[in-house]
Copies of this chain bind each other. A is one copy, B any other.
Amino acid sequence: MATVSDILAQRFGPRFDTGKSQREQHAHTTTWLPSQAPDGVVFPQDVDEVREIVRICADHRVPIVPFGAGTSLEGHVNAPLGGISVDMRDMDRVLEVNAEDMDCRVQPGVTRKALNTHLRDTGLFFPIDPGADASLGGMASTRASGTNAVRYGTMKDVVLALQAVMPSGEVVRTARRARKTSAGYDLTRLMVGSEGTLGLITELTLRLTGIPEAMSSAVCSFPSVEAACDAVIATFQFGLPMARIELMDAMSVRAVNAYSGLSLPQTPLLLLEFHGSEAGVAEQAATFGEVARDHGSTAFEWTTDPAERTRLWQARHDAYWAIRALRPDSDALATDVCVPLSRLAEAVTRSQQECERIGLTGPVLGHVGDGNFHVTLMIAREDEAERAKAREYLSWLAELAISMEGTCTGEHGIGQGKRAYLEAELGAGAVNMMRAIKTAVDPLNIMNPGKIL
């Protein structure tokens, strides 16, 4: 490590930093996982510099930990074995936008909001929105998604191609710019979600979407989580295209009301968005209203007014902060699981009951169109007993999701935090196959070791 440090310092000067504060900022700090700082942080500016860094690290068997915006939730940026954090901050250029093809090529440090700002005048947008303003390289690495996934998919659906530097220093281009291909193994999707354990993403070709002519939003309260989920299932079977369907449980609604000055009924609530033509979104909202009423909805409102829509969705996006404000002197510990839609109501209800049983506060937010939901546990700071309870709860929840044919992680990745459940979820065969691939691509195990496997 000392040798690598010397070489990087000489080569990158001030763009290589071993200061304590920089190192600590690059370790994971936002969940129950302890922070594990890297030995140094380097800020490359192009793919050739990334190759150099990889070669230097490989020569000396020093771990490489890729770093985007540091918003991941399962310890992805921790350095359990030490090593070099490769921060993509300076690789933040939008390289090209092909409006006719509705795609673009970006460097990995571009954030999703920066990309959408860049696209402002094109009539196009990039639809994947996890809560945080994550970097696109990081979003690809963790197979991120968010509220739009029910309509626009996850990162696996919008990454057309990647350029990555492999542990050998070789540069791989996974695909070309065609929208569709059947040319060999799907390396694009193998890299998406590989959490930096196979290579360092240095460029992304992304599919964009035309901004719809019109959008409408609806809020709709239900007597129970079950009634809300049944309404969603019925709506899908109706073939109604929804752009977003978010579930808030009663406790989340209470938090949001308090935080955002709203007066929504404090029962389970769905927040929806429809994208289409003016007539289309009006019709869709009306149809959904009927389905909702059939499922016992007590209040239903919809709007196409941009200010009103923004106000509603801002409240949803602020839900994390609203929930934190429920217990301001606590740490928030966010987790997520995903189950088949038919099991969602039961999964959410049991999650709430278990929280109550063990005496934890854990409001639920759900991307209900995908069967994906988040529990945000509020843990008194420095309270080891409560933290232990929370860790037990996380295991319980992961196992619940797996027992329902679901996954222990819908959109946060495995990282360090969910490694214990991977084999329970997929079986030894799949984990052995992942390990075989990892060993083949990264025989020295220098790429983000200690994550996923």
> What residues make up the interface of A, taking CB atoms closer than 8 Å to B?
98-103, 123-124, 142-145, 149, 153-154, 156-157, 166, 170-187, 189-190, 192-194, 198, 209-213, 233, 236-239, 241, 275-277, 279-280, 283-284, 287, 338-342, 367, 370-372, 401-402, 405-414, 418, 422, 425-434, 436-441, 452-453
Instruction: Given A185-B193, A192-B186, verify A426-B175 contact (CB < 8 Å).
Output: yes
Q: How far is the CA of A189 from the CA of B153 in the complex (A)?
A: 15
A342 CB contact (under 8 Å) in B100, B154, B193, B430: B100
Q: How far is the CB of A73 from chain B (nearest CB, A)?
A: 11
Q: Is the CB of A172 within 8 A of B100?
A: no
A100's nearest neighbour on chain B, judged by CB, is: B342
Q: Are A180 and B145 in contact (CB under 8 A)?
A: yes
Is B154 touching A157 in the complex (CB atoms < 8 A)?
no
> Separation in Å of the A416 CB from the closest CB of chain B?
13
Residues of B within 8 A of A452 (CB): 184-185
Q: Is B236 in contact with A180, judged by CB distance below 8 angstroms? A: no
- Which B residues are in CB contact (< 8 Å) with A338? 178-181
Q: Is the CB of B190 within 8 A of A210?
A: no
Considering only CB atoms, which chain B residue lies closest to A160 in the complex?
B340
Question: Given A100-B233, A179-B371, A414-B183, are A430 and B210 also a contact pair (CB < 8 Å)?
Answer: no
With A340-B101, A402-B176: A183-B429 Cβ-Cβ less than 8 Å: no
Chain B residues lying within 8 Å of A427, measured Cβ to Cβ, are 171-173
CA distance A174 to B427 in the complex (A): 9
**Contact assessment for B212 and A341 in the assembled complex, using a CB-CB cutoff below 8 Å:** no
Residue numbers in B under 8 Å from A428 (CB-CB): 170
One of B102, B185, B213, B408 near A437 (C-beta < 8 A): B185
Q: Contacts A176-B405, A338-B179 given: A280-B276 contact, CB under 8 Å? A: yes
Once A98-B342, A123-B237, A185-B437 are accepted as A-B contacts, the answer to whether A406 and B177 lie under 8 Å apart by CB is yes
Could you list some 28 contacts between A and B, CB below 8 A? A99-B237, A124-B237, A145-B180, A145-B182, A153-B157, A154-B180, A156-B189, A166-B433, A171-B427, A172-B427, A172-B429, A173-B427, A175-B407, A179-B371, A180-B407, A182-B413, A183-B426, A184-B422, A184-B426, A185-B437, A186-B189, A187-B430, A187-B433, A189-B190, A190-B190, A212-B239, A213-B238, A279-B280
Flag if B277 contacts A183 (CB, 8 Å).
Answer: no
Minimum distance in angstroms from A334 CB to a CB of chain B? 14
Q: In the assembled complex, how far is the CB of residue A186 from the closest CB belonging to chain B, in whole angstroms?
A: 5
Known: A181-B410, A239-B211, A412-B182. A101 touches B143 (CB 8 A): no
**Cα distance, A255 to B440, chains bound together (Å):** 51
A179 to B279 CA separation, bound complex (whole angstroms): 30
Q: How far is the CA of A428 from the CA of B173 in the complex (A)?
A: 9
Contact of A441 among B142, B173, B413, B436 (CB under 8 A): B436
B426 touches A176 (CB 8 A): yes
Most B CB atoms within 10 A — which of A185, A372, A418?
A: A185
